[in-house]
Structure 1
Amino acid sequence: MNKQRLLTEDEILKMDDKEYMNKRQLAFFKHRLEQLQNELLNNAGQTAEHLRANSIVPDPTDRATIEEEHALELRTRDRERKLLKKVQQALARIESGEYGWCEETGETIGIARLLARPTATLSLEAQKRRELRQKLFGD
Structure 2
Amino acid sequence: MKSEAAKTPAATRPKAAKTVPAGQTRTPARKDDAGAPRSAAQPAAARRPAPAPAPAPVPIAVKKNPRLANNWKTKAPDQLTDEEVIAMPDGEYMNETQLAFFRLKLVGLKNDILANADQTTENLREETVVVPDPADRATIEEEHALELRTRDRERKLLKKIEQSIARIDAGDYGYCDETGEPIGVPRLLARPTATLSLEAQQRRELKQKMFGD
Match of 1:59 in 2: 133
- Give the secondary-structure state (helix, strand or coil) at the position aligned to 1:132: helix
C-alpha separation in 1, matches of 2:99 and 2:198: 20
Deviation at 1:124, TM superposition (A): 0.3
Match of 1:119 in 2: 193
C-alpha separation in 2, matches of 1:57 and 1:63: 6
- Identify the structure with bigger relative contact order (alpha carbons < 8 Å, sequence gap 6+): 1
- Give the secondary-structure state (helix, strand or coil) at the position aligned to 2:153: helix
Which stretches of structure 1, 4 residues or longer, exceed 2 Å deviation after superposition? none
Unpaired stretches in structure 1, ≥5 consecutive residues:
none
Q: 1:1-139 residue pairs with structure 2 within 5 A?
A: 5-6=76-77, 7-53=80-126, 54-139=128-213
C-alpha separation in 2, matches of 1:49 and 1:138: 40
Percent identity over the alignment? 68
Moved more, 49-58 or 95-104: 49-58
Max Rg structure: 2
Deviation at 1:61, TM superposition (A): 0.6
What code does the residue aligned with 2:125 have? Answer: R
C-alpha separation in 2, matches of 1:107 and 1:5: 27
Q: Kindly tell me the number of residue pairs found equivalent between the two proteins.
A: 136
**C-alpha offsets along residues 34-62 of structure 1, whole Å, 9 cap, x if unaligned?**
00000000101111111122111111111
- Give the secondary-structure state (helix, strand or coil) at the position aligned to 1:98: coil
RMSD: 0.8
Q: Which has the higher helix share?
A: 1
**C-alpha offsets along residues 1-53 of structure 1, whole Å, 9 cap, x if unaligned?**
xxx62222111111111100000001110000000000000101111111122
